[in-house]
Amino acid sequence: MDFNQSQNNFESATGSPPGTQPGPAQIAPVGKEGTTRSPRKNRSGWKIFWGIVTVISVLANIMLLILLFTVVVFFSASRRVDYGEKVIQSGPRNSKIMLVRLEGVIDSRQADDISEQIKTAQEDSNVKSLILQVTSPGGTVSSSDRIHNEISEFRKESGKPVVAFMQGIATSGGYYTSVACDKIIAEPTTITGSIGVIFGHLVLKELMEEKLGIKAVIVKAGERKDWPSMFEPVTEQQKQYLHERLIDPAYERFISLVAEGRPMLTMEQVRILADGSVFNAEQALEENLIDQVGYQLQAIDSAKELAGIQKARVVEYEKHFSLANWLSSGSKTSLNIDKNSLLELASPQLLYLWQP
What is the model's pLDDT at position 78?
47
Confirm if 149 and 179 have CB atoms less than 8 A apart: no
- Is residue 102 classed exposed, middle or buried when 0-12, 13-18 and 19+ CB atoms within 10 A define those classes? buried
What is the model's pLDDT at position 83?
73
| Continuous segment of H or E residues that includes residue 48 | helix 44-77
Residue 310 CB contacts under 8 Å (≥ 6 apart), including other chains: 304
Q: Which residues are catalytic?
A: 172, 225
Q: For residue 141, is it within any domain?
A: yes
Task: Give the DSSP letter of residue 70.
Answer: H
What is the model's pLDDT at position 30?
47
- Is residue 65 classed exposed, middle or buried when 0-12, 13-18 and 19+ CB atoms within 10 A define those classes? exposed
Q: For residue 178, is it within any domain?
A: yes
Cα torsion through 250, 252, 258, 262, rounded to 10: -170
CATH number for the domain that contains residue 289: 3.90.226.10
Q: Which of 343, 345, 319, 339 is nearest to 113 (CA)?
A: 319
What is the model's pLDDT at position 349?
80
d(C-alpha 269, C-alpha 287), whole Å: 9
What is the model's pLDDT at position 211?
73
Q: For residue 269, is it within any domain?
A: no
Q: For residue 229, is it within any domain?
A: no
Q: For residue 96, is it within any domain?
A: yes
Q: For residue 50, is it within any domain?
A: no
Q: For residue 131, is it within any domain?
A: yes
Q: For residue 170, is it within any domain?
A: yes
d(C-alpha 255, C-alpha 270), whole Å: 6
Q: Which domain holds residue 147?
A: 82-199+275-324+345-353
Specify the number of domains making up the chain: 1
| Continuous segment of H or E residues that includes residue 111 | helix 108-123
Tell me: cis bond preceding 137? Omega within 30 of 0 counts.
Answer: no
Residue 260 CB contacts under 8 Å (≥ 6 apart), including other chains: 179
What is the model's pLDDT at position 267?
96
Confirm if 97 and 315 have CB atoms less than 8 A apart: yes
Confirm if 274 and 258 have CB atoms less than 8 A apart: yes
d(C-alpha 341, C-alpha 144), whole Å: 20
Whole-prediction pTM: 0.73
What is the model's pLDDT at position 301?
97
What is the model's pLDDT at position 144?
97
> Residues in the chain with pLDDT < 70?
1-45, 49, 51, 69-82, 201, 204-205, 209, 320-347
